[in-house]
Amino acid sequence: MKKIGVLFGMENTFPGALVDRINAMEIEGIQAEFVCVGGVQMAAPSGYAVIVDRISHDMPFYRAFLKNAALTGTQIINNPFWWSADDKFFNYALAEKLGVAVPKTVLLPHKKYPPQITERSLRNLQFPLDWDGVFDYVGFPAFLKPHDGGGWRDVFHVHSPQEFFHAYDQTRDLCMTLQAAVNFKEYFRCYVVGQTDVRIMPYDPRRPHEHRYVLDPPEYDKKLLKRVEKDAITLCKALGYDLNTVEFAVEDGIPYAIDFMNPAPDADLHAVGKESFDWIVDKVSKLAVKKAQRPVKSELRWTAFLNPREKSAEKKTIAKKPAGKSAAKKEKS
């Protein structure tokens, strides 16, 4: 029997629905359940063929458990090694390289540092920082937000240098980014599952959190929606995420990727609505079953999870070389 486990925290609707949907498929040799884990022996198998991870970003113990599970053959949605290495500023830089539109963004030094960090620890850090250069590049209004955050925590909307410095003084020891604001008309949050399936959900971040999903949206330009879908898949393929949400703010018809590091995306029935909830439960169920039935051995190095298309092209190039040598030998003989 191959077990699919769901590892979760405070959420109530999605984990149970996922377990019920997989078991309702009545696939021989496949069973889903909630993960149960205590003390973890090193290099010991987890007992699960697949684990859907919804909480390890908040629980270091779970993250360490999942890495050990991956080492012993468990397929993890999403891969805990790359998730541990990723951050939003890197994602913005990657999007720029991939040709996906992103707002101008600058990474900033911490406002405060841990007690053990002294001035001698900061001798490579420019001081004073060229704030005028930063502001000229990004412009105002802008968003000051953590380079590795989520849930709209510690996000500040600033309209001037004065507002920026007031906000920056409140960021404690967080590493922050300053990003140009997009004067958006449309805004989308997209589920992406298996790096192939996309559900575009109209979303309004200006509303109260529980009302941000627009359940009665207007019609949108089909070309815009196709570009949103294409860019969402491009980003998730490059990052290697099997489950993610990608957010786009649209200004003058251009979808700017705002946030695409959500490997445990909101999937609450009462937030996303029944249609989107049923869609995400169905797609993740099928993905988990597929991974359980056809496991793929992962290369457990961070670089192995990035830019799979480039690696694929490299392998093809390498594969061609022996063929050329073989042909040359035949000609000589």
**pLDDT at residue 180 greater than cutoff 50:** yes
Task: Read off φ and ψ for residue 39, nearest 5 degrees.
Answer: -65, 135
Which range has the top average pLDDT, 2-11, 304-313, 321-330? 2-11
In a domain, 176, yes or no: yes
CATH code (residue 32): 3.40.50.20
Which among 94-103, 310-319, 320-329 has the top mean pLDDT? 94-103
Q: Give strand ranges (E) for the chain.
A: 2-7, 30-34, 50-53, 75-77, 105-108, 142-146, 156-158, 176-180, 186-193, 197-202, 243-251, 254-259
* pLDDT digit string, tens, across residues 186-243: 999 999 999 999 999 999 988 888 889 998 899 999 999 999 999 999 999 999 999 9
Dist. CA 101–CA 167, nearest whole Å: 26
Supply angle C-alpha 150, 151, 152, rounded to 5. Answer: 90
Out of 180, 203, 220, pick the residue that ends a domain: 180
pLDDT at res. 315: 46
- Asked whether residue 111 is domain-assigned, the answer is yes
Band (299; pLDDT cuts 50, 70, 90): low
Distance, in Å, from the CA atom of 97 to the CA atom of 75, rounded to the nearest integer, reads: 29
Q: Among 116-125, 240-249, 319-328, whose mean pLDDT is lowest?
A: 319-328
pLDDT value for 314: 45
Average pLDDT, the chain: 90
pLDDT for 301 equals 59
CATH number at 262 reads 3.30.470.20
Give pTM, 2 decimals: 0.87
Cα–Cα distance, 282 to 303 (Å, whole number)? 31
For residues 135 and 120, state if they share a domain.
Answer: yes
Same structural domain, 75 and 44: yes
- If you write DSSP's letter for every residue of 28-89 in order, what string do you get? TTEEEEE----S--TT---S-SEEEESSTTT-HHHHHHHHHHHHTT-EEES-HHHHHH--HH
Nearest to 30 by CA among 269, 294, 257, 276: 294
Please state at what angle helix 308-332 crosses helix 222-239, rounded to 10 degrees: 70
Domain around 46 = 2-80
123 and 61, same domain (yes or no): no
Among 180, 200, 233, the domain boundary falls at 180
Higher pLDDT, 108 or 114: 108
pLDDT of residue 162: 98
User: 174: helix, coil or strand?
Assistant: coil
Residues 52-92: tens digit of each pLDDT: 999 999 999 999 999 999 999 999 999 999 999 899 999 99
Distance separating alpha carbons of residues 281 and 245, to the nearest angstrom: 14
The answer to which of 43-57, 99-113, 294-308 has the lowest mean pLDDT is 294-308
Beta bridge partners of 257: 248
Other C-beta atoms lying within 10 Å of the C-beta of residue 288: 26
The pLDDT assigned to 18 comes to 98
